Chains A and B, each alone.
Chain A
Amino acid sequence: MSQTQDIPGTTLFDGDEAQKGLALNRMCFSFNSAENRAEFRKDEDAYCAKFGLNAEQRAAIKARNVLALIAAGGNVYYLAKFAGIFGLNVQDIGAQQTGMSVEAFKAKLLESAT
C-alpha cells in the first residue's frame, strides 16, 4: 500500500501502484493516438480485453469512475487521456472525485484565491 497515511485523499503512485495499474495505464497511454481512441469507442470490450485489464479495472473503466480507476492502479496523467475521449478535463474529473458539481468545484478553486 502506498504511504499516504498523513495525506488524506491522496494515493502516491509508487512501485506498488505502478505494478497493479500497468495494464490499465498502458491502455490509457495508447490513447495518445487518435486511431486508438477511435478503436476504443468502436468496441470498448474488445479494446479492454486486448490490454488485459483485470475485472476491477474493466469495471472502473465501464463506470468512468476516476476514484475507482485510481484504486485499480491508474495514474492520473494516463487517466487524463481516457477522460479526454469524453471531452472531460481536469476540472470535470476533480468535481467527480470530490463529489461536487463542476460549478461548485470551480467555485471552490476561485475561493482559494482569497
Chain B
Amino acid sequence: MARIIGGLGTSHVPAIGAAIVKGLQNDPYWKPFFDGFPPVREWLSREKPDVCVIFYNDHGLNFFLDNLPTFAVGAAKEYTSEDEGWGLPIKPPYPGDPDLSWHIIESLVADEFDVATCQQVKVDHAFVNPMELFWPGDGRPVRFVPVLINTVQHPLPSARRCYKLGQAVGRAIDSYPKDLKVVVLGTGGLSHQLDGERAGFINKDFDKLCLDALVSDPEALLGYSTHDLVKLAGTQGVEILNWIAMRGALTGRVSQLHRNYHVPISNTASGLLLLENKPALAKAA
C-alpha cells in the first residue's frame, strides 16, 4: 500500500528562483533562508519518497479567469514550466504519475470533492521553486501529482474546506494499492502582501501561530475565514491554505523534524516545515 511518510511546507516566491539562478545562497541576505534546507534534503535523500503530491496555487500561468477551478488535480504524464513573463529559465519537465492521479481523482469525487481534472498543467514558481529547494538540479528522483487550490480570485475555499480536501487526499493515498512512499507538500506564504498601499505587510506573530498549529493542532486554524486570513497574513498570505491542505493529508502520528522561519525574502516572511507522519497506532482489539 502507498504510505505518506511526511509533509513539507515552504515559501515559493519568484525571488527564490532568481536568487538560485544568481547563485546567492551564501549571500548574507539569502543565507538565513537557504540554510534552512540541508536538513530537509538529507531527510529526503534518506527516506527516498517515490511520489510528491504538491498543494499549490497557480499565479496566472496555467489558469486564466475565463476558467478558474477552485480545486484541480493534475493527471499528466509530465509537467512543464514556462518563463511566466519574467524570462525565467525553463526547467526540464517534471514526471507525473497519471495512475496515482486518477486514483486520487476517483477517490476525491467519490468523497464529494468534485475537482477539475487536468491532463496538462503548466507549473509556475509555486511548483518549480520548491523543487529547486528540495531536489536541486535537473535530476527528477520523484514523480508528481499537483493539486491546485485557487488563491487568486475570491471567494477562496475556506481553511476548513482545504483541510478536508487534504484529509480526502490523504485517504486516497492510503487506499492506493501500489507500494509507494509519498511525501506531501504545501507551498506559499507565509505572511505577505504584494498589492495596494498595504504592500509589504508582514505578521510574524500570526506566522508563528500558524507554524505551531500546523505541527500539533491544525484544527486551531480552521476557524479563520479567508477574509481573516487576508487581514492577518496579507492578500498573498492566504497561501497558507496550501499548507493547511498538506497538513490535512497527514493521517498518522505527526511530529516536527525541522523548522525554519526568516524575514524577509523579497516582500515575504519565509517558512519551512518538515513533518514526519508515522502510521497511526493500531486500535486495541
Which of A8, A77, A82 gathers the greatest number of chain B CB atoms within 10 Å?
A: A77
Q: Indicate whether A6 sits within 8 Å of B231 (C-beta atoms), given known contacts A80-B194, A81-B84, A94-B199.
A: yes
Question: Which of the listed residues B85, B230, B267 has the most CB atoms from chain A within 10 Å of its own CB?
Answer: B85
The yes or no answer to B46 lying at the interface (CB within 8 A) is: no
Q: When the two chains form their complex, are residues B194 and A13 in contact, meaning their CB atoms are under 8 A apart?
A: no
9-residue interface stretch from A30-38, A46-54, A56-64: A30-38
Any A CB within 8 A of the CB of B198: yes
Does chain A have a CB within 8 A of B245?
Answer: no
Mark out the residues of chain B between 193 and 252 whose CB falls within 8 Å of any chain A CB in the assembled complex. 193-200, 202, 204, 227, 230-231, 235-236
CB atoms of A90 and B263 under 8 A apart: no
Contacts of A3 in B (CB 8 A): 227
Inter-chain contact total with CB atoms closer than 8 Å: 130
Q: List residues of chain B with CB within 8 A of the CB of A105.
A: 200
Contact A90 B14 (CB under 8 A): yes
Contact residue among A9, A31, A89, A93 (Cβ-Cβ distance under 8 Å from B198): A9
Take A32-B84, A80-B85 as given contacts and tell me if A89 and B196 are in contact as well, using a CB distance cutoff of 8 Å. no
B63 (CB) vs chain A CBs: closest residue: A29
**Nearest B-chain residue to A82, judged by Cβ:** B85
* Smallest CB separation, B169 vs chain A (Å): 25
Q: With an 8 A cutoff between CB atoms, is A98 at the interface?
A: yes
Chain B: interface residue total (CB-CB under 8 A): 41
A1-36 interface bits toward B, Cβ cutoff 8 Å, 1 = contact, 0 = none: 011001111111111001000100110110110100
Q: Which residues of A contact B231 (CB under 8 A)?
A: 6-7
| B47-55, B100-108, B151-159, B178-186 - the one binding chain A | B151-159
Please state if A67 and B196 are interface contacts (CB–CB under 8 Å).
yes
Contact residues in A for B83 (Cβ distance below 8 Å): 32, 34
* B82 interface contact, C-beta 8 A: yes
Cβ contacts under 8 Å, B64 to chain A: 25-26, 29
* B25 smallest CB distance to A (angstroms): 19
* B residues less than 8 Å from A32 (CB atoms): 60-61, 82-85
Determine the chain B residues whose CB is within 8 A of the CB of A98 once the complex forms.
Answer: 197, 199-200
Asked if B143 CB lies within 8 Å of chain A CBs, one says no
Does any Cβ of A come within 8 Å of B44's Cβ?
A: no
* Cβ contact within 8 Å between A10 and B154: no
Residues of B within 8 A of A6 (CB): 231
Which residues of the other chain, B, contact A9 by a CB distance below 8 angstroms?
A: 196-199
Asked if A12 and B154 sit within 8 Å, CB to CB, the answer is: yes
Q: How far is the CA of A3 from the CA of B230 in the complex (A)?
A: 11
* Complex Cα gap A8–B231 (Å): 9
Q: Known contacts being A18-B65, A31-B85, A75-B153, is A81 close to B196, with CB within 8 Å?
A: no
Q: When the two chains form their complex, are residues A90 and B196 in contact, meaning their CB atoms are under 8 A apart?
A: no
- A59–B42 Cα distance when bound, in Å, is 52
Cβ-based interface call for B59 (8 A): yes
Residue ranges of B at the interface with A (Cβ–Cβ < 8 Å): 13-15, 18, 59-61, 64-66, 82-87, 152-155, 193-200, 202, 204, 227, 230-231, 235-236, 262-264, 266-267, 269
Q: What are 26 residue pairs bridging A and B, where the CB atoms are less than 8 Å apart in the complex?
A: A2-B154, A7-B198, A7-B230, A9-B199, A13-B153, A18-B153, A25-B64, A32-B83, A37-B85, A66-B195, A70-B196, A77-B60, A81-B84, A81-B85, A84-B84, A89-B14, A89-B266, A90-B13, A91-B266, A93-B194, A93-B199, A94-B267, A97-B196, A109-B264, A112-B204, A112-B269
Q: Contact residues of A with B, CB < 8 Å?
A: 2-3, 6-15, 18, 22, 25-26, 28-29, 31-32, 34, 37, 66-67, 70, 75-82, 84-85, 89-91, 93-94, 97-98, 105, 108-110, 112-113
